[in-house]
Chains A and B, each alone.
Chain A
Amino acid sequence: MGIARYWREIPQRYNLIGTKCGSCGRVYFPPKAICPVCRRKSIGKMEEYKLKGTGTVETYTIIYTPPPHFEGEEPYAIALIKMDEGCYLMGEIVDCDFEDIHIGMKVEACFRRIEEDGTRGAIQYGYKFKKAE
């Protein structure tokens, strides 16, 4: 991913900054300019909101055929996490045996390296998930 494209989403990737609708209270990640439930009523009322980073595995898979930027990392686990605030995030599950991963498992976000832009390019970081303490 290009530097500028990665850089402008650093608040989300590093600190899980989403938005909360000032009208209904729903939390969204990534941030939304408008609440899809309240629509017009939410305009101008979407506030920045930092997720706690804790959630539950809703479903998961083990990837054996990776995309180019994950080559050599396979196999690895990808899960859809229901965050405690109610929104969903997609991310890798790390530091965990595949056999232990299950639907309903409690996880917490951690800060990790995602990809490197070649051997001399920028290293791009972001969130992954590990089993909650």
Chain B
Amino acid sequence: MRDVAIIGSGVTKFGELWEKSLADLVAEAGISAIMDAGIDGTDIDAMYIGGMSAGRFVGQEHLGALAAEVSGLSELHIPSTRVEAACASGGLALHSGYLAVASGMYDTVIVGGAEKMTDVAGKEATNILASAADREWEAFFGATFPGLYALLARYHMHKYGTTPEQLAAVAVKNHHNGSMNPKAQYRREITIEDVLNSTMVADPLHLLDCSPITDGAASAVITSVEKAKEYTDDIIKIKASAQASDSISLAGRSRFDALPATIEAAKRAYKQAGIEPSDIDFAEVHDCFTIAEIMAIEDLGFFKKGEGGKAAEEGLTALDGEIPINTSGGLKSKGHPVGATGIAQIHELLLQLRGKADKRQIEKAEIGLAHNVGGSGGTAVIHILEAI
């Protein structure tokens, strides 16, 4: 296995983009990553694209070939593969591309993720998202996707004393960060009261504890570290790329205060990178719901189990905190076009590692981690990047 580097990335604006189709979004993200990397189409050996459910959101399957075509690569006939792991599809696309380059099979690969979620009504989008959970043994009985995370939130509150205010603190922090991100869906600050006074979706989760429904795409170009030197002096190395699975249903697990897939993927990632959680300077974590960020910062080893809520409340995860979390605004404020999210997280890591995150640039950004979750933890994908 050889070392792999990321040499470019790009994201579209995230939001309710009625004027743009799935194909438009894929093309825009792909072209911006290719331009950022400074490569030509003929340099690309393969493509991997993550998408959760183009089939149900816009009635379009066969995303691999479509993505290659709209990115101007159809005449080159490159192998193009769609990968799917619900909301972790983007992270998994990068993991797949990483394996292809690390193995020596391909030199330069473009990875991406996209989701066009607002061509269907909100209720239908929610129903499609529920397919990330167990349709027959959870959704059938009336559980919704926010409902599953609400079950985890209630458990965490009961076991560790986590409060609704601590959950809200995550949303407030992420909206603050997102207010400085021109690509974010919601660029406005909110208060703890705003969160607590918003509509209850699934007790104890309010509307503002939940990430929104979003259109968007993201893309990145990866190649071997050796080849990367031909394109740039600014090498961002993939120090670790790890994936773990778990029971798709909550009922199939034995603990509910954590996502075991995250714990397992993190263990593998830290081992591969040869580092400890304390070596990570900042992270983009999968905050599909506020409780998800609290569990993530515990499961990733940044804080002790049960202390994630307190950490959020005390500002330890703020831009100027001990370990800045979701400097982009996270899924909560930046938006969550499910298939694109894993790659959009990588884009934010790249901006921070290159010192190009503008107003939200953090002081020390040498090693960053991205954590992407599918469903309620059936899949977890973790990447660790380092500027070398």
Contacts and interface: CB of A to CB of B under 8 A. Distances in A.
A122 interface: no
Contact of B144 (A5, A29, A59, A66): A66
B64 interface: no
B142 A58 contact: no
Contacts of B201: 64-65
Contacts, number: 99
29 contacts: A5-B136, A30-B136, A30-B137, A58-B155, A58-B256, A59-B155, A59-B158, A60-B154, A61-B147, A61-B154, A62-B202, A62-B203, A63-B143, A63-B147, A64-B199, A65-B201, A66-B144, A67-B142, A78-B141, A78-B142, A78-B151, A88-B252, A89-B137, A90-B137, A90-B250, A92-B141, A92-B142, A103-B154, A126-B141
B326 to A, nearest CB: 24
A112 B137 CA distance: 15
B203 A64 contact: yes
Interface residues on B, range: 35 or more
B200 interface: yes
A76 interface: yes
A88 B254 CA distance: 8
B141 A65 contact: no
Interface of A: 1, 5, 9, 29-30, 58-70, 73, 76, 78-80, 87-92, 103, 114-115, 126, 128
B202 A65 contact: yes
B144 A65 contact: yes
A61 to B, nearest CB: 4
B251 A88 contact: yes
A62 B202 CA distance: 5
Nearest to B203: A62
B207 to A, nearest CB: 9
A126 B140 contact: yes
Contacts of B146: 65
B152 interface: yes
Count chain A CB atoms within 10 A of each CB in B135, B147, B205 and give the residue with the most: B147
Contacts of B123: 68
B4 interface: no
Interface string B192-225: 0000000111111100000000000000000000
A69 B272 CA distance: 45
Contacts of A68: 123-124, 127
A67 B158 contact: no
Given A61-B202, A126-B140, 15 more contacts: A1-B135, A59-B152, A61-B150, A61-B204, A63-B144, A64-B202, A78-B147, A78-B151, A80-B250, A90-B141, A90-B249, A103-B154, A114-B142, A115-B140, A128-B141
B202 A60 contact: no
Contacts of B136: 1, 5, 9, 30
A91 B130 CA distance: 16
Contacts of B130: 67
B71 interface: no
Contacts of A88: 250-253
Nearest to B149: A61
